[in-house]
Amino acid sequence: MSLRVAVDFGTSSTCVAISVNGREPQVVVVDGQPILPSAVFAAADGALFVGQEAERQAAVDPSRYEPNPKRRVDEGELLLGTSVLKVVDVVRAVLTRVVNEARHVAGGAPVDLLVLTHPADWGAIRTRVLLDAGRGLGQELRLVPEPVAAAVFHSATHAVQDGSALAVLDLGGGTVDASVVVRQGGSFRVLATKGDPTFGGADVDQVLLEHVGSLVAPGDPQAWRELVEGRGLADRRKRRVLRQDVRGAKETLSRHSYTDVPMPPPFPDAHVTRTDLERLIGPPLTRAAGLLATAVRDAGLDPRGLAGVFLVGGSSRIPLVARLVLEQTGVVPTSIDQPETVVARGALRAVSADPLRTGALPEQAVTRKITDDSTRKLTRRIAAGAPSPPAGFPRPPYFPQQPPPPPPRPRSRAPLVVGVSLGLAVVVGGSVAYALAVRGGEAETTTSSGEPGKTIAQYDYRFTAPAGWDQTGGVAETRQVFLKPSSPVSPDDVITVTEQKLTYDSSVNRSRAETELRDKYDRGRDLSDFDASRSFGGKDVVYYRERAGTATVDWYVLFQRDAQVSVGCQFPESGEDRVRAACEQVVRTLTVTN
């Protein structure tokens, strides 16, 4: 089993995502939540408690509690109660907890690749702390800047052309980070970044708590002081519950115009409104939106020329954030339902299955995964000669330590489906429902013939895998998945499904889609039998055949709305019937879901 783990170690919370056997990332639920508090508690006997366990222990002795260890990364050592701890050991305790949770989900498998994210402005000293804390938790270790991970995730559902820039506003629990990244050669690079380490979601909670106090304290000022300042165990426990309720009220106000905060005796419940909250946090959120505008200017760009603005981090749910960003930049920002999971999920897609040496600090995100000898052979063949890849087996990005690919042969004829001008690198993300993503994009179902199968639903398409065939990996850049038989007769038995976004509705203008495809076919090589009106698996498809060394690939291309989905079915000389039956089921059950 191959296990890849990504950890977004945040100021107030940490998120972990996993990829098992090359499948799409899924968020690991810890203590019933998609995020874990980054808090630590140092017990007198030397034990370190992490997350909700640390928060509970804090009611016993607050002096041994550190809610935001990431903010202490520059200090070297922490004094928690009477214990002096190295910061790296405290960070390691948090990482160890979430990595162990990830391994538990994967049945105890060892971690082949551990990806750690960090703010874009962290230098070598801070990132070294993170690397040292993660050392030994995975066989390989990689670092990815947080805005790069977010940009890779965003490009799943929003095309970012090569050379275009994306702005990312990350409103976390303890900090605000605004960055501009540019796409170059299929990877993202940070152009500019601005940050505010003094404001975040925890500060919003505090402001809202003080507002609640202003509503209920006049009736009994002394009782309020004892609640928020009291050192007794009972007061600390009530204060912890109150803070949780205030945090919940903040989240509710992102969806509703008002809510009530339950209060302990002798106070009445407090009624708070979204208008109240926006009045209180308007100035710091205005500054946060201003940081984004400044970062765009520092990058030498006009906001109107951006490919988009992406909001991440739990506090980006606050509706006022989007309004202020629109006012400051003129761009309507985008977000997802669980913005606190974006960075961890994007980080796994932003790294290669063959990572750089442990401890390397790449500026670009390499998104490439080759899962078996058969697909490795196919990508070598394409890299050696074709200036643009066929739909199923795209030209791979190259690792920095590898030599560049040979130049294309003069007048070489490009295989057809995903040309360089159309091969936008995209990754899976926002279009996948959270409940489905937790299962890796697969769900048990039944084929049209009544046989059990698995629905592969990772990108903007879904299909039922044939019985006896398994998903063995994919290439996120081209929204591609690979299928191979569970008990292969030949290593050349491969089915691949690839999605390409179009700039028009191909259902309405199919003739244009067919013409563009035919034009690429005419410039291709080793291609034959083009047929724009073939029927296969009960679908109207464009068909053509490609010779791939000693193997043959039959391509079936479907058009629906703004999507072109290509199914490539590769087989050796004697295996056409064997693969064709499985390929027909994929085409028959294929549905575009966007």
Query: In the structure, what pLDDT confidence band is assigned to residue 340 with cuts at 50, 70 and 90?
Result: very high
The mean pLDDT value for 395-420 works out to: 30
User: Do the beta carbons of residue 500 and residue 423 sit within 8 Å?
Assistant: yes
- For the ranges 150-159, 348-357, 497-506, the lowest mean pLDDT is seen at 348-357
What is the DSSP code string of 16-83?
Answer: EEEEETTPPPEEPPBTTBSSEE--EEE-TTS-EEETHHHHHHHTT-GGGEES-GGGGTTSSEEEETTE
Percentage of residues of the chain with pLDDT beyond 70: 82
What's the CA gap between 41 and 55, in Å, rounded?
Answer: 8
Q: pLDDT value at position 414? A: 28
- pLDDT at residue 567 tops 80: yes
In this predicted structure, what is the pLDDT of residue 278? Answer: 93
Dist CA 34 CA 56 (whole Å) = 19
Q: Is residue 469's pLDDT more than 50?
A: yes
Can you count the helices (H) and strands (E) in the chain?
A: 14, 28
Long-range contacts of 211-220 (CB under 8 A, 24+ apart): 211/272, 211/276, 211/277, 211/280, 212/246, 212/261, 212/263, 212/270, 212/272, 215/270, 215/271, 215/272, 216/263, 216/267, 216/268, 216/270, 219/266, 219/267, 219/268, 220/266, 220/267
Q: Is the pLDDT of residue 415 over 80?
A: no
Model confidence band, residue 421 (pLDDT cutoffs 50, 70, 90)? very low
- Whole-number Å distance between alpha carbons of 270 and 260: 5
The arrangement of strands across the sheet holding 442-446 comes to: 442-446, 452-456, 461-465, 591-592
Which domains can be identified in the chain, with CATH numbers? 3-154+341-349 (3.30.420.40), 159-333 (3.30.420.40), 434-592 (3.40.1000.10)
> pLDDT tens across 152-192, in order?
999 877 888 888 999 999 998 888 999 999 998 778 999 99
pLDDT at 375 over 80: no
pLDDT band for position 505 (cuts 50, 70, 90): confident
* DSSP reduced 3-state for 345: helix
pLDDT at 475: 67
In this structure, the number of other CB atoms found within 10 A of the CB of residue 86 comes to 15
pLDDT value at residue 434: 23
CA–CA gap between residue 109 and residue 101 (Å, rounded)? 11
Please, what is the average pLDDT of the chain?
80
Pairing state between β 539-548 and 551-560: antiparallel
pLDDT digit string (tens) for 197-228? Answer: 888 888 898 999 999 999 998 989 999 988 88
Instruction: Give the residue with greater pLDDT, 115 vs 125.
Output: 115
Range 92-114 average pLDDT? 94
